[in-house]
Every structure is written in structure tokens, then in C-alpha cells.
Chains A and B, each alone.
Chain A
Amino acid sequence: EPEVTQTPSHQVTQMGQEVILRCVPISNHLYFYWYRQILGQKVEFLVSFYNNEISEKSEIFDDQFSVERPDGSNFTLKIRSTKLEDSAMYFCASSPLSWLAASTDTQYFGPGTRLTVL
């Protein structure tokens, strides 16, 4: 069964450094998402992406964050200058293009990347 993959599984970085988290969504999906989960807290939406542009973003997704689909398979989240409070699990998700059919579908989540900012 196809699945979303994420690399690396764990990223350790120094405060102020840039990090890029990578995701490979399911191949025929067209909507992509990033979420984060601070340890012990709930999953928070960051951004959704469709047709090579951001569809929606949350208040968390400030100028320090950016997303990109550099090629036909990867979907990346970049944090320009990491802060201690960016330490969290970051989940990528993808879903088929179903909203145009006025129905909604589930999002398929990757295993997550644990980001530790020191």
C-alpha cells in the first residue's frame, strides 16, 4: 500500500540554523500538508499546498517557514532560523484531489520527523 515517507526521522540542529524537512507524498495525491506536534501537545496545522502554491496557512506558519515542491515527488518544509520552541514532531500528509467533487477524503500521514533545536 502506498504511504507517505519523511526524512530524516530525527533532526538535531543548533538554534538559528536552517533546517529542511523532506516528505514524499503518495504519488497520485495533489494536496499536501504540514503539521507539527510539540511533545505532549496536540497536532497543529501549519500549511496546505496545492497546485504549487499555499492554499491555507495557520498563524504558526510565519515568515520563518516556507514550503516547496522542488520536483515531482518531494515536498519540503524549511525553517529559516530555528528557535528552541520549534522543537516538535513535524508530520507531512497528502490527500487525493477530492474536494472539487464536493466530497472530502482522508489525509494520509507520514511517520514524522522529530526536530530537536538546541
Chain B
Amino acid sequence: SQQGEEDPQALSIQEGENATMNCSYKTSINNLQWYRQNSGRGLVHLILIRSNEREKHSGRLRVTLDTSKKSSSLLITASRAADTASYFCATDYNYGQNFVFGPGTRLSVLP
């Protein structure tokens, strides 16, 4: 079955540093999306990358997708304390019928 898996499970960095989170999946996908979840809150969409794209940028976010390795990475540059949250990748393999979320990476940015 399709499953996204992020690593690391937890990441702690200093403000100003870059944070890199990875996601791996098992079967072919239509797109992959990254979401942020602040503790106890809802999921906020960050960025969508389609299967025919290799890299996308949005502000301080950079997402790459390697379909040959079935993996994606999310890079947050110049991190801020407000970036502290859990980050999930979600793979869409059925044209939006459902997403499969990974377990998430808990990012802590220390001031």
C-alpha cells in the first residue's frame, strides 16, 4: 500500500539555520504535498509538487521530488521560531481521491 514516510522524526535547530526534511513513498504518485501542523491545530498546505516536476520554491521553502528514488525533500531556509511545527508529506496517487500522510517530522526552532 502507498505510504509516505518522513525522516527525521524530530529535528531541533537554531534560528537562522536551514532545516531539511525528507519523505519517501512506495508507489507511483500524481503529486506530493507538504503540510504544516502547529501543535493541536489544523493542517496548513505549504506546497504541491507534481510528478513531472523536480523542484519548486515558495518563499523560504524549497521542495524537490525524485520519482526514481520515490522521495521528496522539504528545505526551510533561514528558519524562525515560528517555523516550529510538525511537517507532513502527503502523497496523492489516485487523482485527489485521497491522500496518504506520513507520520511527520517535528521541527523545533530554538531562538
- Assuming the contacts A104-B31, A104-B50, asked whether A31 and B96 have C-beta atoms less than 8 A apart, the reply is yes
- Assuming the contacts A91-B42, A104-B30, A111-B41, asked whether A42 and B88 have C-beta atoms less than 8 A apart, the reply is yes
Compute how far the CA of A111 lies from the CA of B40 in the bound complex, rounded to whole angstroms. Answer: 9
| A108 on interface, CB distance cutoff 8 Å | yes
| B61 on interface, CB distance cutoff 8 Å | no
Within 8 A of A (CB), among B44-84: 44-45, 48, 50
Q: How many residues of A contact B (CB 8 A)?
A: 30
Compute how far the CA of A91 lies from the CA of B90 in the bound complex, rounded to whole angstroms. Answer: 14
Judge whether A104 and B41 touch: CB under 8 Å.
no
Which of A13-21, A43-51, A75-83 forms contacts with chain B?
A: A43-51
Judge whether B48 and A45 touch: CB under 8 Å.
no
In the complex, how many residue pairs between chain A and chain B have their CB atoms under 8 Å apart? Answer: 63
B45 to chain A: closest residue by CB: A106
CB distance from B101 to the nearest CB of A (A): 4
Within 8 A of A (CB), among B91-111: 92, 94-104
Judge whether B45 and A55 touch: CB under 8 Å.
no
Judge whether B43 and A104 touch: CB under 8 Å.
no
| B22 on interface, CB distance cutoff 8 Å | no
| A98 on interface, CB distance cutoff 8 Å | yes
Within 8 A of B (CB), among A55-108: 55-56, 58, 89, 91, 93, 95, 98-99, 102-108
- Assuming the contacts A41-B103, A43-B88, asked whether A58 and B98 have C-beta atoms less than 8 A apart, the reply is yes
Judge whether B98 and A48 touch: CB under 8 Å.
yes
Please name all residues of chain A whose beta carbon is closer than 8 Å to the beta carbon of B24 when the two chains form the complex: none
Judge whether B101 and A44 touch: CB under 8 Å.
yes
Please name all residues of chain B whose beta carbon is closer than 8 Å to the beta carbon of A89 when the two chains form the complex: 40
Q: A45-B100, A95-B96 are in contact. List 14 more A-B contacts (CB 8 A).
A: A31-B96, A43-B43, A45-B101, A48-B97, A55-B97, A98-B96, A99-B97, A104-B31, A104-B48, A104-B92, A105-B48, A105-B96, A106-B48, A111-B42
What would be 16 A-B contacts, judged by CB atoms less than 8 Å apart? A35-B101, A42-B88, A42-B104, A43-B43, A43-B101, A45-B99, A48-B97, A91-B42, A102-B95, A103-B50, A104-B31, A104-B48, A107-B96, A107-B99, A109-B45, A110-B42
